[in-house]
Structure 1
Amino acid sequence: MRRGSSKKGSANSTTSTSSSAMDLFRSASGKAATKELERIDQLFYSYSNESSGMIDPERIENLCNDLEVEHTDVRILMLAWKMQAEKQGYFTLEEWRKGLKALHADTIIKLKKALPELENEVHRPSNYVEFYSYAFRYCLTEEKQKSIDIESICELLELVLGSQFPQQVDLFIQYLKTQIDYKVINMDQWMGFYRFCNEISFPDFNNYDEELAWPLILDNFVDWNRVMMLVPSPTLNVSGLTPFEPQSFNDLNCRDHGSCAAKESYGGCYIRGVGPVTGTVGLKVGPRYRFCLKSQRQKKSKT
């Protein structure tokens, strides 16, 4: 019986020692976390505006200087995403804590070293859709705002998608700056373009189906692109205006003068005639021009 009691006492002693070691570990971890949070807070206060209690746009520029990145660098937007910052150009203390704790960055040197890993994290497929959606919401600067003006959207597209889908983004920006039907872009259109870049073959768009649930602006974008790619352009002599050579006569708005006829063809219209043809020409998304279209036919020589 005494031996049994001795073994039991030994087991209790081992358990007690193990428990004490765990308590010490937890205590040390807690103290380390507290110290880290204190340093994160100190770093915040070194940049924050005393009157507002936030890091404002001017202070963010100071932060960028210390990080040796431009304030327009996409990694600053990624940092805002990591913090889940709600107001464009501003970081609160709680947002700062959330982001820097996740990055294990309690000094400016550590934060600078964390940026490449943050970029890798954002570009993981599981995270990028969330980041892309966040980028749009972050730019909604007014209460109840649901859309963003075309100029800002073009800048944002270049920032967040330009490196992944450069050709698609360049072409879409060209379309947005040329078209006249849309003044703003909403979230559905914004997310639709990201899906478009991932799913639709480029540059032919052969697998694009207008019957599927795509935003109308993307239907128009595809039509516009087909207009620009369908057929070689004829020569236009424009009187009093900047020379204009569209790559296709799709969707022409033409006033007949003399022998001029517009006929429906696959994807749009073309002009045919004998001799000089004058009128007005314009695509859906661009300005209209007066033109003189010279026939490309060669007159048969008499034999």
Structure 2
Amino acid sequence: MGNCFSCSKVPHPPVTTNQTNSLENKDEAMELRGLFPNSWPQTGSYVPTESPVNGNKISLNTLSMLTKVGSDNCGSVPGIQNNSRSSRSFYVRLPPLGRSGLSSGLNSGSELKSQKDPSESKMNALFEQYKDPQEDVILADGIERLCADLQLSPDEFKVLVLAWKLNAEQMCQFTRQEFITGLKTMRVDSVHGIQSRLPEIVQELNANNDLFKDLYRFTFRFGLDVSSGQRILPVDMATVLWRLVFTIREPPLLTRWLKFLECHHIRGIPRDTWNMFLNFVESIGDDLSAYDDAEAWPSLFDDFVEYENDQMNQNISKDDILKNVSIDKA
């Protein structure tokens, strides 16, 4: 992508005999000054000076001659060999890279940057490919076709991640604004671009707690039926979404938690309970030993801990009974 940087050469002004002789005289004066530093006069009509350019040294007059053609010279130039007329002559006659070459490089950089930016026209064309024929929205059928082109199953974790990046308000549909804004955020404008970006986002979610927390909270809203004004997530939907969002970073308590919900026939999960569950599993030990019922946990968490403790006590009691039976038999 982008154009290569290029520089164009402009011809150097012809060097007159007087200029060449002047340069040679200056070089000789510089050599004499090096041999007799203390006796060299501090005043006079000519004081040789040198200035480093691209790692080489050239006389001030030579530098001014170069800048007359173009001050923004790029690339290195051969150094001046003292006591060599041919080298000095070659250096003076070397065509510099003029300002037009630099401008070309800057323009190429701007073009390269613009080409790297995603194309909104391509995004709209991609949206048109999957949107519903009657409505300006991608519905379930279009999402299935998009997933097929992405080589994903609609119930995969990466599809949830895509919906999160698009900030979709409702399950099974993407509006044009959601789709275009989301792709801009992802900096992609094609199916291949989405395919390449999704694994990178999953890695970011694995490494960044705040990003995962944002995805987790989005998942609750994504599962609600917005059209009916639903505010509590049905427990069967909550169970599916908990398993889905914890495809990565699954807490050890998840299976036991879902079994508890199933056994107690919980009807729905409020937003606060959903959000607090992430904090709950991060702060409570695998054996629930760090749980403090004095903290402001939802009552459903209290019931879960009590249920788990009862299960643990029952298991201990059964083990004790089996041990006593084996001792009596002995």
Q: Shorter-normalised TM-score: what interval?
A: 0.5 to 0.7
In structure 2, which of residues 231, 243, 248 is the aligned counterpart of residue 146 of structure 1?
231
1:144-293 aligned at under 5 Å gives the runs 144-165=229-250, 167-180=252-265, 182-202=266-286, 204-232=287-315
Summarize deviations over 1:201-239 as a string: whole Å, max 9, x none.
01x2011001111111101110011111113488xxxxx
1:98 corresponding residue in structure 2: 181
Q: Are positions 1:130 and 2:214 aligned together?
A: yes
2: CA distance, partners of 1:108 / 1:132: 25
Tell me the distance in 2 between the aligned counterparts of 1:210 and 1:170.
Answer: 22
Deviations 1:48-85 (A, max 9, x none): 11311111111111111111111000110100111111
CA distance in 2, matches of 1:211, 1:200: 14
Letter in structure 1 aligned against 2:146:
L
Secondary structure, counterpart of 1:212 in structure 2: coil
2:144, 2:154 within 8 Å by CA — same for their partners in 1?
yes
Change (3 A) 1:206 1:25: same
What is the rounded CA distance, in whole Å, between the counterparts of 1:13 and 1:209 in structure 2? 71
Instruction: Say whether residues 1:33 and 2:117 are aligned partners.
Output: yes
Looking at structure 2, the residues matched to 191 and 221 of structure 1 have their Cα atoms a distance apart, in angstroms, of 16
Letter in 2 for 1:72: D
Of Structure 1 and Structure 2, the greater helix share is in 2
Task: Normalising by structure 2, report the TM-score.
Answer: 0.61
Q: Does the 8 A contact of 2:157 with 2:247 survive in 1? A: no
Q: Separation in 2 of the partners of 1:232 and 1:168?
A: 18
- Paired with 1:233 and 1:200, the residues of 2 have a C-alpha distance of 22
Contact 1:54 1:93 (C-alpha < 8 Å) held by counterparts: yes
- The structure richer in strand per residue is 1
RMSD: 3.1
Kindly indicate whether the alpha-carbon contact (under 8 Å) linking 1:148 and 1:184 is maintained by their aligned counterparts in 2: yes
Aligned to 1:244: none
Provide the C-alpha distance between the structure 1 equivalents of 2:256 and 2:133, rounded to a whole number of angstroms: 45
Residue 137 of structure 2 aligns to a residue whose secondary structure is coil
Give how far 1:141 is off.
1.4
**Matches of 2:300 and 2:69, distance apart in 1:** 77
Q: Which of 180, 193, 204 is the matching residue for 1:110?
A: 193
Contact preservation (8 Å) 1:153, 1:185: yes
Gap change, CA 1:229 and 1:22, over 3 Å in 2? same
More RCO (CA 8 Å, sep 6+): 2
The answer for the alignment partner of 1:119 in structure 2 is 202
Which of 121, 125, 130 matches 1:42? 125
Deviation at 1:100, TM superposition (A): 2.2
* Residue deviations 1:149-202 (CA, integer Å, cap 9, x gap): 11111111111125423541111111111114x411111100111111111001
The 1:32–1:68 alpha-carbon spacing in structure 2 relative to 1, beyond 3 Å, is closer
- List alignment gaps of at least 5 residues for structure 2: 1-60, 74-98
The more displaced of 162-171 and 108-117 is 162-171
